[in-house]
Structure 1
Amino acid sequence: MTRLSIVGLSGNITSPSKTRALVGSALALAADQLEAETTLLELADFGVDLGRARKIGQLSPEAQANLQKLLDADALIVATPIYKGSYPGLFKHLIDLIDPAALLRKPVLIGATGGGDRHALAVEHQLRPLFGFFEARVLSTAVHVSDKDFTEGVLTGEAALVRLARAVAEMDDLFPASRKLVQAAE
């Protein structure tokens, strides 16, 4: 019996980043609650050719393999930094390379990081419609965190952690048998 596969995508071009910390925290919760196998990908994992690629075949073999991991996952956790009210262009460019039918009904937990709370609605106004276009199953609870939610690069804000746990619990509702199947197989 294979475990549930959850891939996280940090849409930041720098590492380490608060966005990576958010995705990593969500993946850790999902791994614990769902006993899932998790993988964290960053924009840098798609190589220097990402910005020039007009189709998937123009990415390096490694980048294509990483994109395939994302597409093959049972569920996704996707977060991006918000700059001036929206996600970065390179993040959007990666998403633009994906076939419109590739994420059909795939559960997606969306999140974002921003310098302050004024960016919080970008999750609803930018990310939710983006993944809605793909007809993905975007979880109802989205997560936005800001600088005040981090201590030395670690997500520590109590309200943010509670909301993140609630979002991951929605995945548990979508895959209720996953833990029982894994436990039965062991």
Structure 2
Amino acid sequence: MTTRTLAVISAGLSQPSSTRMLADKLAAATVATLAERGIETEVLSVELRDIATDIMNNMLTGFPSPKLDTVIESVTGADGLIAVTPIFTSSYSGLFKTFFDVIDNRSLTDMPVLIGATAGTARHSLALDYALRPMFTYLHAVVVPTAVFAASEDWGSGGASLKTLPERIHRAAGELSALMVHSDRSHLVPDPFVLDASFSPAGSFAAT
């Protein structure tokens, strides 16, 4: 079987976390949809709370720890990405944003991305389109049309939301899977040891 790698980022702070729960459901639906297409999926799940100190130290020093460096390489080298954040003060969490601040802003070029978010009420659902989607567009990722938001009521008992959430998850997973089938990003991952084309040792000595 053809194999694809799926990175799953969740920025929930609590345990258990509804953010992680949504991320897992999106990942499971994507894996199932890819399997229907004859594609096996390797899933890398990352809870940012586990590397929060490493992320902040990288922001302050400019250098990732070995643990964070491994996570960044795995995420940026994947064939697809699911990114889910809790909504705080009408936008993504600081931890979520800081993680994407410390990675190279070219490393997600052409990456198929499914975005998701959780919050207490559905009033925060628009944050997906005015905060998350523009951020990934800036990073030159390819964001699937369907974003998935889950409010507290979506995890409760009864109500129409219990039917619509699985529908949104299934639709978004199908869109991500369709992009991952043709994903080939190996040539886009920047090599840190490759010199910029403008670098000229001879020219630098000639100026002295």
TM-score range, shorter chain: 0.7 to 0.9
Scaled by the length of structure 1, the TM-score of the pair is: 0.86
* Closer, same or farther: CA 85–61 of 1 in aligned 2, 3 Å: same
Give the residue type in structure 2 aligned to 1:171: L
Aligned with 1:122 (options 127, 130, 137): 127
Other structure's SS at 2:24 match: helix
Scaled by the length of structure 2, the TM-score of the pair is: 0.77
Aligned with 1:98 (options 100, 103, 111): 103
**In the alignment, is residue 33 of structure 1 matched against residue 33 of structure 2?**
yes
Residue aligning to 2:142: 137
Cα distance in 2, alignment partners of residues 176 and 51 from structure 1: 34
Per-residue deviation at 1:161? 1.0
CA contact (8 A) 1:50 1:59 kept: yes
**In the alignment, is residue 86 of structure 1 matched against residue 87 of structure 2?**
no
Bigger Cα displacement from structure 2, 77-86 vs 13-22: 13-22
Give the residue type in structure 2 aligned to 1:26: L
Cα distance in 1, alignment partners of residues 174 and 61 from structure 2: 33
Give the residue type in structure 2 aligned to 1:173: A
| Structure 1 unmatched ranges of 5 or more | 179-186
- Correspondences of 1:104-183 after superposition (within 5 Å): 104-151=109-156, 157-176=162-181
- CA-atom RMSD, angstroms? 2.1
Structure with larger Rg = 2
Give the residue type in structure 2 aligned to 1:88: S
Give the residue type in structure 1 aligned to 2:77: D
Aligned length: 175
Cα distance in 2, alignment partners of residues 57 and 133 from structure 1: 21
Give the residue type in structure 2 aligned to 1:15: Q
Residue aligning to 1:181: none
CA contact (8 A) 2:112 2:180 kept: no
| Structure 2 unmatched ranges of 5 or more | 36-40, 184-208
Give the residue type in structure 2 aligned to 1:27: A
CA contact (8 A) 1:112 1:144 kept: yes
Residue aligning to 1:182: none
Cα distance in 2, alignment partners of residues 4 and 139 from structure 1: 17
Give the residue type in structure 2 aligned to 1:30: T
* Closer, same or farther: CA 159–76 of 1 in aligned 2, 3 Å: same
CA contact (8 A) 1:8 1:78 kept: yes
Other structure's SS at 1:144 match: strand
Cα distance in 2, alignment partners of residues 62 and 70 from structure 1: 13
Give the residue type in structure 1 aligned to 2:10: S
* Closer, same or farther: CA 59–176 of 1 in aligned 2, 3 Å: closer
